[in-house]
Amino acid sequence: MRILVTGGAGFIGSNFVRHLLDHYPSDDILVFDLLTYAGNLANLPSLPSTARLSFIHGDICDEQTVAQTMAGCDAVVHFAAETHVDRSLLNARDFMATNVQGTYILLEAARKHHIQRFLYISTDEVYGNACSPTGTSRPSQETDTLRPLSPYAASKAGADTLAFSYWASYGLPVIITRSSNNYGPYQYPEKQLPLFILNALEDRPLPIYGDGQHSRDWIHVYDHVAALSLLLHQSESNMDGEIFNVGAHQERTTLENATLVLKSLEKSPEQISFVQDRLGHVRRHAVDTTKISQQVGWQAKISFEEGIKQTIEWYQTHPEWIEGIQQKQNDFLDTALHLGEMRSTR
């Protein structure tokens, strides 16, 4: 199968590419990525290392390039997106363009090229707070109403429902996944766990929004990409138009994560720094994974304790990757990691 992977140079996309290369020897992979601040060729195996992997630098909002790139592909796995909630609160324009318009352009091209499987990587952020229709807190189910609380989540919900409509209207064989929060190797360090790890290692503050009691279900990226690969290789037409939650049932608060990272690195709890809460901050994200477990036989295998230990070790043993990112001098990241202050005192 020839698979077009959009956003394959990002965090989850690159882990997915590695998983396919390791476990599906008959798949060829074409990564299509704009290499925004979050995209990084260093996330991928070096390109000449395998004939099964190729790369095209391009924008999913560019109709012509997308159409040319999709020719000859059998499947599309669509990760490419603007992904940081905090950035969407500062400026939502790119989120609307890439996440909504870009997804529309890919769906149109997929329809014209008779793509046999279109996997859309949505998120549990589309649900807003995890609760029943009567407002009782419980893990979100695929049939729950979407109540996104941030511009990022709203843009993903727009694309998620658009993808569904391409199955309903045109019969495009779409599958939609809504995963909980991922962590693991190659995650851009503006996101919570790598930010905590890097700041802890360098004795800088770990910022905690509000009271620190916001909770998320944390899934290791290796478990997530295993679920995606299983779904991608389902050929039955009764999978078309289906939506699957993906999660690990490992709910943890921000404060618990910061405390665990500091303890693991034998650092002082005084590095914890409470900051003003985020706008529209979802109190609880959690997903019910009964459907993917019953229909596909998938469940997460990596415990949070094991996964965070491996992740901390990965960031400790990849200084060249961290250095490469920091050299790009992104203002948002520099502020989160206090790098501007460090540079000016050097």
Q: Which is nearer to ligand NAD, 7 or 158 (CB)?
A: 7
> Minimum Å distance from CB 129 to ligand NAD?
16
Nearest residue to ligand NAD by CB is 10
Q: Which is nearer to ligand NAD, 27 or 82 (CB)?
A: 82
Among 69, 98, 150, 311, binds ligand NAD (CB under 6 A): 98
Residues 179-208 that bind ligand NAD (CB under 6 A): 179, 181-182, 188
Among 59, 217, 223, 251, binds ligand NAD (CB under 6 A): 59
Among 3, 4, 5, 10, binds ligand NAD (CB under 6 A): 10
Among 61, 146, 287, 337, binds ligand NAD (CB under 6 A): 61
Tokens 């495009």 locate to 172
125 has catalytic annotation: yes
Among 27, 33, 160, 251, binds ligand NAD (CB under 6 A): 33
Q: Which is nearer to ligand NAD, 102 or 185 (CB)?
A: 102
107 contributes a contact to ligand NAD by CB under 6 A: no
Cα-Cα end-to-end distance for the chain = 51
Q: Which is nearer to ligand NAD, 167 or 188 (CB)?
A: 188
Q: Which is nearer to ligand NAD, 113 or 156 (CB)?
A: 156
Give me the residues that bind ligand NAD (CB under 6 A), please. 6-7, 9-13, 33-36, 38-39, 59-61, 79-81, 83, 98, 102, 121, 123, 156, 179, 181-182, 188
- Catalytic residue numbers, as ranges: 124-125, 152
